[in-house]
Every structure is written in structure tokens, then in C-alpha cells.
Structure 1
Amino acid sequence: MSVPAWLLSRPIAHRGLHDAAAGIPENSRAAAEAACAAGHPIELDLQPSADGVAMVFHDDDLARLTGETGPVTSRSAAELGRMRLLDSAETVPSFAEFLDLVAGRVPLLVEIKSQPGSPAIATNALVEAALAALDGYEGAVAVMSFNPFAVAHGVMIRPDLPWGITTGHGPGLFPEHPDTDAAITGGATDPRDYGAAFVSHGLRAQDAPWIGDLRRAGVPVLAWTIRSPEEEAMARGFAANITFERYRPDPGPAPLDHGTDAPD
């Protein structure tokens, strides 16, 4: 699967265009609306509810964003849907609700989260729930995960979607799953082995030696999370596009067709 032009051309709003001080929490409906109004693609995160529904939420624990206690996976979708985000009027949306709201107005970059303490393969159930919500959705979407097994599973089900691997927390390519990570012993595992078409890489790990190898091999690289013009300048040294928050980058040109593939 080739990478669509939008993924490499227009800065992507990290967890939506959020501003907690203005009552717009991350990964909320309001953050999605703000990104749509500004014309920015939206990066968002998915966690599973206790009853297996894909919910738009970053943390595996509820405390930081809702003030509740315990893991997201301990609550049903209905319970999560009633929880207020950061004392705002916003509540936790399901992925299906988020899709209905955005309705193809801007592209979406969806990150599938793994759950601490669970086997890596357990994330496959969340992949399936996310793809079920996407069934029939006509807007532009790309999907990524730190979990290479989740990516490989998703590629088998929806090879028509662009899939990527998120990297950049440690010395190797797959820091959350070191059993797959040949980089620890000297050579980076190729994300294309799992069907990934792109990499979203952390700015703090920009000196990872294998990033240059991937770029030279033609693998598109995005950079996260960029929070200032100075960081953007650093990111542009190795990445084609950025995921940003806390400032407004130059939006760049909007591609005429969200589905247009990037040039080889």
C-alpha cells in the first residue's frame, strides 16, 4: 500500500486541535471540530472499553483525563461515554461517534494503543473493533501502532488502508515489544516486514541510526510530537511531515484529493 499525499503534506493535529484552558480537551469532539475548522488532519488514539468498543482516549488509565480511577478497560463504553474530560463539558467519544462527527471533512491518523500487561497479540481485538467502526466510512484514514503485530493483523484485514508503525521511545525500532526488535542487537527490523508503509517517529529519538536507512529505502517518516517552531525545524531535518500541538504551524498546501498517493 502506498502512502497518501495528505499524510506527508499537511501538519497533523495531535489528538485534535486541543486547548485545555479553553475547555477543549485532547481527543475530544471539540478538538476534532477545531481541527476540521482549521483544515488539519487529526491524529487520535484508541483504547478498548470493557465491552470491546473502540474509544477515543490516549491513556490506559482514567486518572489524568477524567479524575476517575482504574484502567479504561475496566469500564463499559456507556460508562466511558458519560465521563467528563478535564472538567470540561466534553465526554469520552467512541470511535464510531468520532467518525460520524468528522464525516470525512479532514483525514484521520488513528493510533491503536496496546494495554500494559497484556500480550502483544491481545491488541488484535482492538484492531478488529476499530476496523468494524471504519466499515463504510468514506473519509481518508491511515492507521498506526507501536505494536507491529497489531499492524500486521490490520494489514491482513484491510490491506487497502495505509498502515504505519510508531517508533521513538527507546534504542530500538519496537521498544514496547523488544522480542521483535533486532535493533537491540545491532540491526533494525524493517517495518515493512509487518506490512507498514510509513513510520511515525519521536523527535527525541531523531538520531536513531536506522531512521536514515529507512528513508534511503523510501519509507516515509513522520515526526511526533512537535510543540514549537524550533522543534518543527529540527523535525523537518528527517521527517516529511509532523504531528503537532500547543502552537500553530504553517498549514502548508492542502492536497486536492485526500486519497492521492504520494510520488514514489
Structure 2
Amino acid sequence: MTPALPAAFLQAPIAHRALHDISDNRPENSRAAIRAAIQVGYGIEIDLQLTADDRAVVFHDYDLARLTGQSGPIRQVWSTEASKLPLLFGDDGIPTLDEVLDIVAGQVPLLIELKDQDGAMGPNVGPLEHDTVRALQGYDGPVALMSFNPNSVAELARIAPHLPRGITTCAYEPKVELLPQDVCDHLRGIPDFDRVGASFISHEAADLARLRVSELKAQGVPILCWTVRTPEQEAEARKVADNVTFEGYLADHPG
């Protein structure tokens, strides 16, 4: 039986890459941004990449440059090196998933996106999924996993069938996603939802009017969305979505 998305994910808004604000020394996906989100009771969305020693670290990009000023792929850096590599506009380095789980400790919902490691949303997956599941053993708190790559979600279903999982989805414009046309055309219709045992989607906010999203919503599937950046965008997104992932402003908290 597919595990349901915990109800907590449909309550407090979810801070995209945690509650980041570089003007306050809180870069995206940083420990400081995570602590700030916890302090005000927001849910937290984070991204995972893989290091050279096959450890899951909390980092969005494939390349280090934008977030650290250093060049080169995160995949070629060991996790111990990454932890010492200062984030721009921050006070510390790239955290491991283990560290972030210790900080969150079940206080708020944690939505974890595994970044595609195949390069084209294909089947070359496994190490990131396995280290993520290892880190989550014994974790007590609302957590859900998701990925744009349905093969990643399928692997999570295989190795950790008890963990709630979903698919991150979008309009799949090839020039935006830098993927082949045929891959985009396939994934755009979210055809793998049932196959991978997903229980929710997190869809691009600007594309929520898509028919497939409406079909899933009609089936009772929870619809999360990303990323809203103004209260006006949030109000529009909530006409379809059950909850929003936000950044750049403080979303209204129902509590």
C-alpha cells in the first residue's frame, strides 16, 4: 500500500530551500535557513546532491560555482570537504543530510527532493536514494521524498516502501529543463505516478492549470506546488494546490 503524504504537509506553508535570505546570512539550503524556518514553524523543502563518497548533502546545484564561488561538480567533492566549503553569504559549509535531520528533529515537516543523478531522467540511479534512506533510519517526524526523475521515486519505493514519496513535476519545456524533446514530452503528462507508487505531486506553480494536474486532484491526490514568490502568486496557486512552496516573502501561517 502506498504511504500517504502526512497531513502536516498540507498545513504550514513550505519554505523553498528553507527560509533563506542572504541579507541575513541565510543562504539557500543552509543550516541557518533551516533553523530560521523551524523558529517560525514553516515546513522545509531541501535538495539533495551526491558527493564523491556517495553521501547525501543538502545542496541544489550540480556545480559549486553559484553557491560557493568555487568551480567544479559537487559530485567530485568529498562530504568532509563540502562541509568546510563556505557557502556565499553564509557562515558555514554544505551540510550533510544527517546534520539537517539532527537540526530539524521532527519539529516541522521536511520535504526532501533528490536531484536527478542520471542526467536525463533515466534509470542510472541508486547511490543517492540509498544514502538518503540510510540517513532517515530511525528519523521521527513528518518527512516526504520526491524527485523529478520517476526512476528515483521507483527506487525509493523499492528500498523504503514505508516512506511517503511523490513526483516533482513541471511544464517540461526542453529549452528550460535542458532535456531532450522526447524526454520532456514523456514526463509532461506525469505518466509514472501509479507505477512508482507516488502519493503526491509538487508541480510548477505557473502550470497548475494543466489537465493532468486536475485529473490527479480529482482522484484525491495532494497537490503541492513550487515556487511562489509573492502573496498574489500564492493566492492564485491555492485555487488548485493544497499547499505552496514559497520564497522571497513570508507566507501567511495558518497558526
Check whether TM > 0.5: yes
- Are residues 116 and 131 of structure 1, via their aligned partners in 2, closer, same or farther at CA, if it must alter by over 3 Å? closer
- Are residues 153 and 239 of structure 1, via their aligned partners in 2, closer, same or farther at CA, if it must alter by over 3 Å? same
- Are residues 77 and 48 of structure 1, via their aligned partners in 2, closer, same or farther at CA, if it must alter by over 3 Å? same
- Are residues 171 and 214 of structure 1, via their aligned partners in 2, closer, same or farther at CA, if it must alter by over 3 Å? farther
Alignment partner of 1:242: what SS? strand
Aligned counterpart for 1:12 among listed residues 8, 11, 14 = 14
Aligned-pair distance for 1:136? Answer: 1.2
Aligned to 2:92: 90
Alignment of 1:239-258 (within 5 A): 239-253=241-255
**Where do 5+ consecutive residues of structure 2 fail to align?**
none
**Where do 5+ consecutive residues of structure 1 fail to align?**
254-264
Aligned-pair distance for 1:120? Answer: 2.5
Aligned-pair distance for 1:112? Answer: 0.3
Aligned to 1:256: none
Is 1:55 aligned with 2:57? yes
Aligned to 2:149: 147
Aligned counterpart for 1:199 among listed residues 198, 201, 209 = 201
One-letter amino acid of the structure 1 residue matched with residue 220 of structure 2 = G
Cα displacement string for residues 148-191 of structure 1 (whole angstroms, at most 9, x for unaligned residues):
0110110112121110000014169xx7685596466xx65151
Cα displacement string for residues 19-63 of structure 1 (whole angstroms, at most 9, x for unaligned residues):
011111010110111011001111000000011000000011100
Aligned counterpart for 2:161 among listed residues 159, 162, 180 = 159
Is 1:224 aligned with 2:226? yes
Alignment partner of 2:225: what SS? strand
One-letter amino acid of the structure 2 residue matched with residue 201 of structure 1 = H
- Are residues 87 and 249 of structure 1, via their aligned partners in 2, closer, same or farther at CA, if it must alter by over 3 Å? closer
Aligned counterparts of 2:171 and 2:92: Cα–Cα separation in 1: 30
One-letter amino acid of the structure 1 residue matched with residue 33 of structure 2 = A
Alignment partner of 2:144: what SS? strand
Alignment partner of 1:123: what SS? coil
Aligned length: 249
One-letter amino acid of the structure 2 residue matched with residue 215 of structure 1 = K
Alignment partner of 1:43: what SS? strand
Q: Is the 8 A contact 2:5 2:199 kept in 1?
A: yes
Cα displacement string for residues 66-87 of structure 1 (whole angstroms, at most 9, x for unaligned residues):
0000111011101111111114
Aligned counterpart for 2:122 among listed residues 117, 120, 138 = 120
- Residue identity over aligned pairs, in percent, reads 45
One-letter amino acid of the structure 2 residue matched with residue 96 of structure 1 = D
Aligned to 1:22: 24
Alignment partner of 2:227: what SS? strand
Is 1:238 aligned with 2:240? yes
Alignment partner of 1:191: what SS? coil
Aligned counterpart for 2:44 among listed residues 34, 42, 52 = 42
Aligned counterparts of 1:233 and 1:15: Cα–Cα separation in 2: 21
Q: Is the 8 A contact 1:60 1:115 kept in 2?
A: no
Alignment partner of 1:193: what SS? coil
Is 1:214 aligned with 2:244? no
Aligned-pair distance for 1:88? Answer: 2.1
Q: Is the 8 A contact 2:21 2:27 kept in 1?
A: yes
Q: Is the 8 A contact 1:83 1:92 kept in 2?
A: yes
Aligned counterparts of 1:201 and 1:119: Cα–Cα separation in 2: 16
Q: TM-score, normalised by structure 2?
A: 0.91
One-letter amino acid of the structure 2 residue matched with residue 196 of structure 1 = A
Aligned counterpart for 1:99 among listed residues 98, 101, 105 = 101
- Are residues 38 and 141 of structure 1, via their aligned partners in 2, closer, same or farther at CA, if it must alter by over 3 Å? same
Aligned-pair distance for 1:139? Answer: 1.8
Aligned counterpart for 1:109 among listed residues 111, 115, 119 = 111
Alignment partner of 1:192: what SS? coil
